[in-house]
Amino acid sequence: MTGATSFPRPSVVAMASANPDKVAEMVSLMEDVVRIQPRPADVPDVVEDAPTLEGNARLKARAIAEATGLVAMADDTGLEIDHLDGAPGVYTARFAGPDATYADNVAKTLHVLEGIPLSERTARFRTVAMLRHPSGAEIVAHGVVEGHIAVEPRGVGGFGYDPIFVPAEVQELTFAEMDPVAKHAISHRGRAFRRLRELLLALD
């Protein structure tokens, strides 16, 4: 937590993300402790060119806090594949190119891992969640889930890389095959935002 002593507990936060899938997950995890305001439609997308997940979350949170005058809530998530030396990492959302779809990113991941045995397909999802006050004070939380990359997509739930990510706690099901409640209980984003929720509730 950075600048916590100057971070009064907010009653309203502005969402930095406009991704409807991510927003739905974050709202389900946070709406009982704070009122969430959608990202203003006139705020353009932020160029996420920081070298770290925390840096990208900060870029988004700062832009929304400055645009709205409210505490902003942002996150950034990376998929780290050990066989690829931690890639795609900060490039997770655009692994297959700047305009890549979920399907494009999944297809590229499976292509670059083609022929690699399961024992060498270990990976993890990492999320950095952040609240940023217009003053610049921040609260930061982290969430990680270990797992591996499946050899083919399975399941119809979730979004992004969920059809090919198998969490270690489950071992047999991809995130896309899991019930949403069960997924949130162990997911990187669930862990990060539950921690952010705890830090938020601890504020005076």
- What is the pLDDT, as a whole number, of residue 3? 41
User: Per-residue pLDDT for 1 more than 60?
Assistant: no
Residue that the structure tokens 């004070």 belong to? 137
Whether 80 contacts 89, CB under 8 Å: yes
What is the spatial distance between Cα 185 and Cα 163, in angstroms, rounded to a whole number?
17
State whether residue 191 is helix, strand or coil: helix
- What is the pLDDT, as a whole number, of residue 50? 94
Length of the chain: 204
- Residues marked as catalytic: 76
Which pair of structure tokens corresponds to residue 16?
A: 């930095």
Which pair of structure tokens corresponds to residue 122?
A: 């270990």
pLDDT, average across residues 140-158: 96
Sort strands 88-89 and 35-37 into parallel, antiparallel or unpaired.
unpaired
pLDDT, average across residues 169-195: 93
CA-closest candidate to residue 46, choices 12, 68, 16, 10: 16
CA-closest candidate to residue 11, choices 29, 37, 38: 37
CA-closest candidate to residue 129, choices 198, 193, 187: 193
pLDDT digits (tens, 9 = 90+) for 11-44: 899 999 888 888 888 888 888 889 999 898 888 8
User: Per-residue pLDDT for 4 more than 50?
Assistant: no
Whether 130 contacts 102, CB under 8 Å: no
What is the spatial distance between Cα 94 and Cα 104, in angstroms, rounded to a whole number?
9
pLDDT digits (tens, 9 = 90+) for 152-168: 999 999 999 999 999 99
pLDDT digits (tens, 9 = 90+) for 52-103: 999 999 999 999 999 999 999 999 999 999 999 999 999 999 999 999 999 9
Q: Where are the alpha helices (DSSP H) in the chain?
A: 20-30, 53-68, 102-112, 180-186, 188-201
Could you give the count of Cα atoms lying within 13 Å of 50 in the half-sphere of its Cβ? 16
Q: What domains are there in the chain, each with its CATH number?
A: 4-201 (3.90.950.10)
Whether 33 contacts 200, CB under 8 Å: yes
Share of the chain above pLDDT 70, in %: 97
